[in-house]
Structures are given as structure tokens and as C-alpha cells.
Amino acid sequence: MRQIAKRTAAFAAATAAVALVAVGCGEDDKASDVVESAKSSAGQLTESLKPSASEESGTEGSSTTAEGSAAESTEASGTEGAGGETKIAGPDGQEYTVAGPILAKYTASGGPTSPLGAPTSAEEAAPGGGKYQEFVGGIIYWNDKTQAHVVWGKIREAWEAEGGPEGSLGYPISDEKDIPGGKQSDFENGHITFVNNETTVVPK
């Protein structure tokens, strides 16, 4: 682009010189007008042919923006790596890191002041590429397919008796919820209810 602009300006200047000869040395006013007109045209052409700011910067800026947007989208989606991390003192006085989607679920559930209470262990690997972390009042399980959910109380006991995430019910797909007369947690392959102080496992 710059080379084209230079050649165009040179052409305009040459045109002005030719025009000056054509009008003759005796017609100074006309010659001056022609030269000024040619200079103006050359300047306008040069300006119009300059590359824009986006052309000079290339596409690197756009790529960076796209990467930043992708990172924000991943964080918002609740997938592994989202939610940041924090350290929380357990009942034994030791600090435990709570991070990612487990932290997001823990925070949404009320954190240390909720029935979950403080963490009692570090995050551990779970079957099938998942993760879990123990808290005073329950446990949070996560995997990429089912996301993070809380399991606690009598329902947790019944689920673990069935083999937990490796058992026939698989991973939790909901937090514990209210049902008439009691509570229920849903799992990949069934659900468990706690009604009238009685726990019932209901496979699909």
C-alpha cells in the first residue's frame, strides 16, 4: 500500500509539471493553480491509500480477544478449572484448598457456615475421572458429565452402601431436595429417598 501511495504522489507531481509547461511560463496564475490542484490531489490519494489501524495491527489482537472470551466462557460454565481456589481451615486446624467446581458448589451451598461446614480433607480423585472432597457435614462429588453435587446424611450412607460412584447408581446428578414427607437425591441410574426416617434405594 505504501509503495502505491508513493507512486501515485509521484505521478501527480509529474502531471503538475507537465501542466506547468503546457500553460506556458507567461501564464503564472494558471500555472500556480494547476500545481496546487495537483498537489492537493496527490495528498488526497496518498491519505486514501494509507493502511487502516486494523490493517497495521493484523489479526493478533482479535485472536487474543477470542482467547480471553473463551476463557471467560469456560469459567462461567462450571467445568473443571472454574471457580478459582481458596484455603479454609478444617476442624483439625489444618488449611485445605477448595477449588474449581467443588468450590463453586461449596460456595453456592453456603460455605463453612452451611450444614457442610469446613473441609476435612483435600480434594481427591474419584472413579471415572471425577473428583470429590469431604466436609464436616457431607461430601461433594464432581465429574465433567454430572457436574458437582452434595451428598450427605442417611442418603449418603445408603449411596455409599451401594458402592458410591462405582456402584449401580453412579454419580449424583442433583443435590438433595425436598419431597413430600422427606428428602431425595437423584443419581445417574436411580434415586434414593429418605421418608419417615426410612431410606429407600430406587434404581432405574
**Tens-place pLDDT, residues 141-180:** 999 999 999 999 999 999 999 999 999 999 999 999 999 9
Quote the cell numbers at residue 155.
442418603
Low-confidence ranges of the chain (pLDDT < 70): 1-83
Instruction: Give dist(CA 52, CA 156) in Å, integer.
Output: 63
Rounded to two decimals, the pTM is 0.61
Quote the cell numbers at residue 119.
473441609
